[in-house]
Amino acid sequence: MRRILLATILLLSTVSYAFHVEGVGNRTFIDNKGDTLYIFESNPEFKSNIGAIDWYRLPDTITPFSSGTDYLYPEHGQGYAIKVNGQWEYFWTFEYDSLRPQISGVELAQSCTETQLILHGTLPAIEYKNPSNRKQTVARTCQIDYMDAAWGENDWVDSAVVVEKELAATIVLDASALATHYVITDKLAQELGIEEAITTEICQPWAIKVHPLAEVTTRGKEGDRSNEVERPTEPDNLVRRSAPLDVEFRSNGLNAEYYQWNLYKGSEIILRRSEAQHRYTFTEPGNYRVVLYASNSYNCEIDSVEFDVSVSESMLTVPNVFTPNGDGTNDEFRVVYRSIKEFHIWVYNRWGKLVYKSDDPAKGWDGNINGRPAAAGAYYYVIRALGTDAETEYMSKPAYTKKIKKQELPIGVYQLSGDINLLR
């Protein structure tokens, strides 16, 4: 079950107003490029905070509208001015009842990427004339509340979204991936504390969301001692890893009905799969791209969600000495390897007796024979191994069944022998 997550997006505006007058009663302010507009819930009233003054009605700043008074009872949509110390201060006043939206209904129209709220009714404009008697219009705003899905720690969660938009006949929002209704609140009403809102019917989701993840099957942990180079120790690291690299791909799709995973090596597509999630083991070295496409019956789709995977070529080297003295350094005879698929090692003493063998390159000889410390000196090893980049003909049978001259060894085929010195 999805948890509730609150994600709020608010746009804040700067408020300024005339310095020497104060509105009386419930009101809010709009600063329109330096013009101060007062919006009153009802019964607009101003008072002077410097005593009795002359009040002027715009555009007439010659004749006072009211002289030598502390209070002014203005009209809706009218501009006024006062003069203090030779400086003009201008302000305009409105009553909310004359600006109240008259919405008869809201129509919902949606696509894969957006939802349109089409408002039917009247949206009174905020209009006034500036001191130069030029008409000015202030864009009105509203708050839209709805639900959408957001990715949590490991699943989709319900997320409450609050966004501010222009209050217009058509309001465009990002498409939600959840069934939700939309609550439209006029910002002026909200600022005045008037609890008025319009709630739409439930809108069914079309939009697709995916949060693809690729999780590597790890071998050990970062920092552990290992003789495998570039081994996968981090579940989310797909770059330059030793093979085999086993990866589970998960789409984590919401509202998606059809999936296609394309696996590319270079520009060549080598695999297609249609499951929401799948597992693939990379063995051959090279650079890969894994691309996810998702769609649904509304013809909505998500494409080109990509993962880059890099698999290393094989490598195998052998030391010439080891010191099994228990000091934690070089205590075992181990090869250093990368991307090895098949491995065999035999170690013999100077009389040709087998003292150690293994089919696991991650393991090593601890310098004991039958539980007792072997004598110091030279021992002889034989190694036959195949890398994941070996040709197909060599992958089908053990590497040691066919003796090959050293200079003719194909890529990924290892036939090694030599001395290893045990020092105590």
Q: Measured in whole angstroms, how far is the alpha carbon of residue 129 from the centre of its chain?
A: 47
**DSSP 8-class letter at 333:** B
The verdict on residue 179 lying in a domain is yes
Pick from 287, 311, 335: which residue ends a domain?
Answer: 311
The verdict on residue 272 lying in a domain is yes
Q: What are phi and psi of 356, to 5 degrees?
A: -160, 145
Return the pLDDT at 398: 67
CA neighbor of 399 nearest in space, from 383, 410, 384: 384
One pLDDT digit (tens) per residue for the chain, 424 residues:
333 333 333 333 333 346 899 999 999 999 998 899 999 999 999 999 999 999 999 999 999 999 999 999 999 999 999 999 999 999 999 999 999 999 999 999 999 999 999 999 999 999 999 988 899 999 999 999 999 999 999 999 999 999 999 999 999 999 999 999 999 999 999 999 998 899 999 999 999 999 999 999 999 888 788 999 999 999 999 999 999 999 999 999 999 999 999 999 988 999 999 999 999 999 999 999 999 999 999 999 998 889 999 999 999 999 999 999 988 899 999 999 999 999 999 999 999 999 999 999 999 999 999 999 999 999 999 999 999 998 877 666 666 666 666 667 889 999 999 999 999 8
Pick from 49, 77, 97: which residue ends a domain?
Answer: 97
| Alpha-carbon gap, residue 72 to 66, rounded angstroms | 8
DSSP symbols for 347-412: EE-TTS-EEEEES-TT--B-SEETTEEPPSEEEEEEEEEEETTS-HHHHTS-GGGS---GGGPPTT
Q: Which two tokens stand for residue 414?
A: 């290892």
- Tell me, yes or no, whether 268 and 334 share the same domain: no
Contacts for 369 with CB less than 8 Å, ≥ 6 apart: 355, 356
Bridge partners of residue 204, in order along the sequence: none
- CATH number where 294 lies: 2.60.40.10
Return the pLDDT at 391: 81
Return the pLDDT at 6: 34
Q: Where are the beta strands (DSSP E) in 152-299?
A: 156-166, 170-174, 183-186, 198-199, 209-210, 213-216, 245-250, 253-254, 258-265, 268-273, 277-282, 286-295
The verdict on residue 296 lying in a domain is yes
- Tell me, yes or no, whether 69 and 133 share the same domain: no
| Alpha-carbon gap, residue 383 to 391, rounded angstroms | 18
The verdict on residue 260 lying in a domain is yes
- Tell me, yes or no, whether 108 and 194 share the same domain: yes
SS3 187: helix
**DSSP 8-class letter at 312:** P
- Tell me, yes or no, whether 361 and 278 share the same domain: no
Pick from 277, 311, 345: which residue ends a domain?
Answer: 311
- Tell me, yes or no, whether 346 and 277 share the same domain: no
Domain count, the chain: 4
The verdict on residue 375 lying in a domain is yes
What is the amino acid identity at position 125?
A: A
Return the pLDDT at 12: 33
Return the pLDDT at 400: 62
- Tell me, yes or no, whether 93 and 129 share the same domain: no
Is residue 369 exposed (0-12), middle (13-18) or buried (19+ Cβ within 10 Å)? middle
CA neighbor of 156 nearest in space, from 1, 325, 288: 1
- Tell me, yes or no, whether 306 and 400 share the same domain: no
- CATH number where 193 lies: 2.60.40
Structural domain harbouring 147 = 4-9+100-208
| Alpha-carbon gap, residue 26 to 45, rounded angstroms | 10
Return the pLDDT at 277: 96
Pairing of β 198-199 and β 183-186: antiparallel
The verdict on residue 16 lying in a domain is no
